[in-house]
Amino acid sequence: MGITKLHGLAILVTAGITGAIWYHHPFPPASDQKPTASSEEGILLQTDLNETSPMLPRRRDVLVLTPWLAPIVWEGTFNRDILNAQYMQKNLVTGVVTFAVKKYVQFVEGFMSSANKYFLAGHQVNFYLFTDNPEQISHLQMAPENHLFVIPVQNHSQWQDISMSRMGIISRYIRSQFQYEIDYLYSIDIDVQLFEHIGVEIIDTLVGTISSWHYTARRESKSYETRTESQAAIPTGEGDFYYTASFYGGSVAEVYKLTRACFKGVMEDRENGIEARWHEESHLNKYLLYHKPTRLLSPEYYWDEELSRPRIIQVKRMCSVRKDGEK
């Protein structure tokens, strides 16, 4: 059947309409963009008078902005209602990845019950729980908007081993599965409990948490790896903050890049017969030195219970749980 004049006309009209649409919208939506609430609906929530007075800093006692203009999240610096409204407009799903291997299975119950209550409460969270003991995971009560995925992993002979291949596991699963299910992903140690809300103030492209041991330390006393033979080595005198590997995250794309890079460093070190001083945390710190986080969480967001709490920590949102026995 040949192309008749009518077909030709139809083609021309379609092309014309498409051309007109292109003309009026120079920025066609990205193919991976999810349908969102109308951008005409603005945020209608109010700020208080004392929240937006340019001459009145909310926290004078701590640093709230890094030299590369990433906010550092402390109690008093943010209004969660406004942030919630902004987050909900974008229809986002956030994931949490955590590992419960061998004895660490004992922490699952405490972690999951407190996370269901305090982690991004009211928003959909996908929990990805990697464990070598799926049968031991008792039936866990999930908040109605949350989902739990139990993923079996292999046992390793040493704690460091599983820790060291966590980065590898995370990056593999992002590639094969997580990228299709979530927008943001956070890696959290299982041996913690949440005591206060951790909300959407943590959501940003690349997020690191300042270690509670190091928040005031001078650079020299930081725990960076310094041996140049290791891929995690940071030259003396360099470094911004010391970040904890117990809580980090960001967009699924950025966490993929981070975990891949760290895993690569881990594997190269292994081949060269060296292990970084603080294992994956050393590699994380190297990565975040050269790929600066877009947002930092204060030590409120991961507090080591062994430390006594200074006045600048007004809230302890998530704390390590005391461990019995050796790692």
Partner 1 sequence: RRQDVLTVTPWLAPIIWEGTFNSDILDSAYRPLNLTIGVTAFAIGKYTRFVGRFLESAEKHFMKGYRVNYYIFTDNPETIPNVQLQSGRRFVIVPMEKYPSWQKTSMRRMEAINKHIAETSHQEVDYLFCLDIDMVFYNAWGPETLGDIVAAIHPGYFNVPRSQFPYERRSSSAAYIPDGEGDFYYGGAVFGGLVKKVYEFTKTCHMTILTDKANGIMAAWREESHLNRHFLSHKPSKVLSPEYLWDDRKLKPPEIHLIRFSTVDKNYKEIQD
Nearer to partner 1, 52 or 236 (CB): 52
Paired tokens of 97: 């990845």
Pick from 2, 35, 67, 325 the residue near partner 1 by CB under 8 A. 67
What is the rounded CA–CA span in Å between residue 145 and residue 21? 38
What is the rounded CA–CA span in Å between residue 75 and residue 197? 11
Helices (H), the chain: 5-24, 80-89, 108-118, 159-176, 252-271, 280-290
What is the rounded CA–CA span in Å between residue 147 and residue 230? 38
The reply to whether 47 sits near partner 1 by the rule CB under 8 A is yes
Pick from 24, 218, 311, 322 the residue near partner 1 by CB under 8 A. 24
What is the rounded CA–CA span in Å between residue 53 and residue 57? 8
The reply to whether 124 sits near partner 1 by the rule CB under 8 A is no
The reply to whether 193 sits near partner 1 by the rule CB under 8 A is no
The reply to whether 21 sits near partner 1 by the rule CB under 8 A is no
State the nearest-atom distance from the C-beta of 82 to partner 1, in Å: 5
The reply to whether 28 sits near partner 1 by the rule CB under 8 A is no
Pick from 2, 6, 27, 144 the residue near partner 1 by CB under 8 A. 27
Pick from 36, 86, 221, 272 the residue near partner 1 by CB under 8 A. 86
> Going residue by residue from 200 to 229, which x/- string records binding to partner 1, judged by CB under 8 A?
-x----------------------------
Give me the catalytic one of 281, 305, 306, 326.
Answer: 281
Q: How far apart are the first and last CA of the chain?
A: 75
State the nearest-atom distance from the C-beta of 61 to partner 1, in Å: 8
Provide the 3-class DSSP secondary structure of residue 65: strand
CA distances to 169, 179, 180, 256 from 176, rounded to whole Å, are 11, 7, 8, 11
What is the rounded CA–CA span in Å between residue 4 and residue 14? 16
State the nearest-atom distance from the C-beta of 322 to partner 1, in Å: 33
The reply to whether 92 sits near partner 1 by the rule CB under 8 A is no
| Residues near 304 by beta carbon (within 8 Å), at least 6 away in sequence | 212, 213, 319, 320
Nearer to partner 1, 81 or 145 (CB): 81
Nearer to partner 1, 6 or 69 (CB): 69
Is there a catalytic annotation at residue 281?
yes
What is the rounded CA–CA span in Å between residue 152 and residue 159? 17
Q: Which residues are catalytic?
A: 281
Residues that bind partner 1 (CB under 8 A): 23-24, 26-27, 39-40, 42-44, 46-47, 49, 51-58, 60, 63-65, 67-71, 73, 77-79, 82-83, 86, 201, 292, 295
